[in-house]
Structure 1
Amino acid sequence: MATAPWEGPVPDLLREHFGAAVLETSSYLEQPFAVLTLPAMVPALEMLQAEAGFDYLVDITAVDYPKRTPRFDLVYILYSHSRNERIRLKAAVGLGEKPLSAVPVFLGANWLEREVYDMFGIEFSGHPDPRRILMPEEWTGFPLRKDYGIVEMDNRWVQANLGIESGQ
């Protein structure tokens, strides 16, 4: 199924404020999304919160494309209670690139950004508490990267920490 154009006040507002930094505004399966340049992401979150009523940050996640440069897509899902509308904002992130933290805009971004770091290794510039949230501090690697050796890492950790075979 192909994407369809996303038309309306929100994509118009994004284009008005950020111009060429808005790379795409589309809809897939009736779910609107915008692709932005990485430097425009946090300012866009601020603007959408202040001017378009997107008052809730639902989630932040990433997608790993190991054969692509930049390697990751960073995905922010916003919801507006007043509009009853959900949108996604995406930006490409290169390996080692540090996107600006969204914590000053949405306090809930704190744990979400920590999870993205923990699972994908994407560090956020200016994050107030940049430590792992799901995996032990001594864990090596990032489990949601496509090149992560899950069986090898699980076996090694279970053997070292529990003294048993993992059964994998």
Structure 2
Amino acid sequence: MSHPAPHIETPKGTVAAIKKALGKDLLAIEEAHGEIACHVKTDKLVGVMMQLRDTCDYQQLMEIAGVDWPDRDPRFEVVYCLLSLTKNHRIRVHVTTNEDVAVPSVTEIWPVAGWLEREVFDMYGVTFAGNDDLRRILTDYGFVGHPQRKDFPLTGYVELRYSEEEKRVKYEAVELAQDFRSFDFMSPWEGADYVLPGDEKGASK
């Protein structure tokens, strides 16, 4: 027996309340699929978040995500997902930044943001002003680059291996070595016209 998907809709008056609370700090607001996306000024982020928490009742910070748009300026987008327990509704808050422009930290509002901001820093290289513990959290010590950037190579820049000679773990530049192989594209049922190791056993019978 199939059940219909739960119907999600924005509580009446939510968009108007957000516009009133954020004022000039709100650059744009979009509503789709029962969810609201607020694009706000990056340098006003902390004040915006306090208004959304205290005035609009979005009490919980659920997630912080990064997005890389290499062809845009600013290149990066940081997305905050907020949940209202009283309204049973979610919104997203979007800010933009570049690698050399720090986003204000919201750890003073939600302490859990410390870990989430570290993830965005680790994956994208976005820094957060006011986060005193901005270290890598998902990658290993000595990792080079930020793996969620669109220009990061799929193989990475370095590889990790254990050296029998030096009896320790080493980081080395990635080398994609491949031995020369000759393919004849013949069907395995037709058989090859060259001798393979072990063929002499069948010929001796």
Fold match (TM-score > 0.5): yes
| Candidates 106, 110, 113, aligned match of 1:109 | 113
- The normalised TM-score by structure 1 is 0.85
Which residue of the partner structure matches residue 158 of structure 1?
Answer: 160
Contact 1:18 1:40 in 2 (8 A): no
Is the 1:131–1:137 contact (alpha carbons within 8 Å) kept by the matching residues of 2?
no
Contact 2:102 2:127 survives alignment (8 Å): yes
Q: Distance in 1 between matches of 2:132 and 2:14?
A: 30
Q: Which residue number in structure 2 is paired with residue 20 of structure 1?
A: 24
Does structure 1 conserve the Cα–Cα contact (< 8 Å) formed by 2:159 and 2:171?
no
CA RMSD of aligned residues (A): 2.5
Tell me which moved more, 11-20 or 51-60. 11-20
Shift of 1:31: 1.8
| More displaced stretch, 93-102 vs 116-125 | 93-102
Count of equivalent residues: 161
2:51 to 43, 47, 54: 47
Q: Give unpaired runs (5+ residues) of structure 1.
A: 1-5
CA 148–99 in structure 1, closer or farther in 2 if over 3 Å, else same: same
Cα distance in 2 for residues equivalent to 1:39 and 1:71: 16
Task: Please state if 1:11 is matched with 2:15.
Answer: yes
Q: Which runs of 4+ in 1 moved over 2 A?
A: 6-21, 156-167
Is contact 2:67–2:76 with CA below 8 Å preserved after alignment?
Answer: yes
Residue 143 of structure 2 corresponds to residue 139 of structure 1 = yes
1:85 to 89, 98, 109: 89
Q: Aligned residue for 2:101?
A: 97
Indicate the percent of aligned positions where both proteins have the same amino acid.
28
> Hey, what's the Cα distance between the residues in 2 that align with 1:163 and 1:17?
51
Q: 1:70 aligns with which of 74, 95, 117?
A: 74
Do residues 124 (structure 1) and 122 (structure 2) align?
no
Structure showing greater relative contact order (alpha-carbon pairs closer than 8 Å, 6 or more residues apart) = 1
Greater mean alpha carbon deviation, residues 45-54 or residues 121-130: 45-54
Equivalent-residue separation in structure 1 for 2:75 and 2:11 (angstroms): 29
Structure 1 CA distance, aligned partners of 2:14 and 2:47?
15
Judge conservation of contact 1:158–1:166 (CA < 8 Å) in 2: no
- Over residues 120-143 of structure 1, what are the superposed CA-to-partner deviations in whole Å (9 max), with x where a residue is unaligned? 000100102111111123111000
Distance 2:62 2:50 in 1: 15
Q: Tell me which protein shows more helix as a share of its residues.
A: 1
Matched, 1:60 2:42: no
Q: Relative to 1, partners in 2 of residues 1:158 and 1:137: Cα closer, same or farther, differing over 3 Å?
A: closer
Q: Counterpart of 1:3?
A: none
